[in-house]
Amino acid sequence: MAGLDRCRACSAKLIEGPDVQRQGASERFSVKVDGIPTKVCPSGCDVSYWYWPDFGVEVLDALTRSTGGVARRRLGFRKTRHLCRQCGTELEDHGDRGTFLAKGRLRKGSDLNISIEAPCLTCPGCGAKSMPAQTSTHDPYYVELASLLGETVSEGLDRG
Ligand SMILES: [Zn+2]
Ligand SMILES: [Zn+2]
């Protein structure tokens, strides 16, 4: 935690700052993150800091724990199948985009809300839209999303 205890400019002990909102976009995604906690300098240095040095990990945890908008994964014979969480039908790629919400309770007790506008799969049975299930740790869809989220929550904030 040492990195975020003191202001880098004047060494004053940091105090709790306001929660902030950030948005960002990449090739496939646009995201909005609400409720990003900050620390600020009591002496008025014009810099805000991440609340924890590993705040980025909490953001990704919030994403992976919120699976409501994500397809159910079934390992098939040759490839992963993506199934509708509502009705179990195999999802199809119609080139659609949708908006998905992920929410996480942060260690400090407040909520982080992530809104993701993303390419998605569509259910031919009930019409529900889902983000694809993550197929591996190298799944390029989730690598891009994680990297965009990391950049978005770092913007204008010193990570300590
Ligand atoms: Zn300062
Ligand atoms: Zn369905």
State the residue range of the domain holding 32. Answer: 21-36+56-155
Closest ligand to C-alpha of residue 14 is 1
Show Cβ contacts of residue 138 under 8 Å, excluding neighbours closer than 6 positions: none
- Residue ranges with CB less than 5 Å from ion ligand 2: 84, 86-87, 89, 123, 125-126, 128
Residues in the chain: 160
Residue 48 domain-assigned (yes or no): no
Strands 111-122 and 157-158: unpaired
pLDDT at 78 over 60: yes
For residue 11, report the distance from its CA to the centre of ligand 1, in Å: 6
Residue 14 has pLDDT above 80, yes or no: yes
- What is the 24 CA–ligand 1 centroid distance (Å)? 28
Q: Is 6 left (phi over 0), alpha (psi -120 to 50) or beta?
A: beta
Q: How confident is the model at residue 71 (pLDDT cuts 50, 70, 90)?
A: very high
In-domain check, residue 11: no
pTM of the shown model? 0.90
Number of domains in the chain: 1
Name the DSSP letter for residue 6: B
**Distant-in-sequence, close-in-space partners of 63: CB < 8 Å, separation ≥ 6:** 102, 104, 114, 145, 146, 149
Ligand 1 center to 105 CA (angstroms)? 29
Q: How far is the CA of 129 from the centre of ligand 2 (A)?
A: 8
Distance CA 114, CA 90 (A): 26
Checking if the pLDDT of 2 tops 70, the result is no
pLDDT band at 3 (very low <50, low <70, confident <90, very high): low
Give the closest ligand to the alpha carbon of residue 17: 1
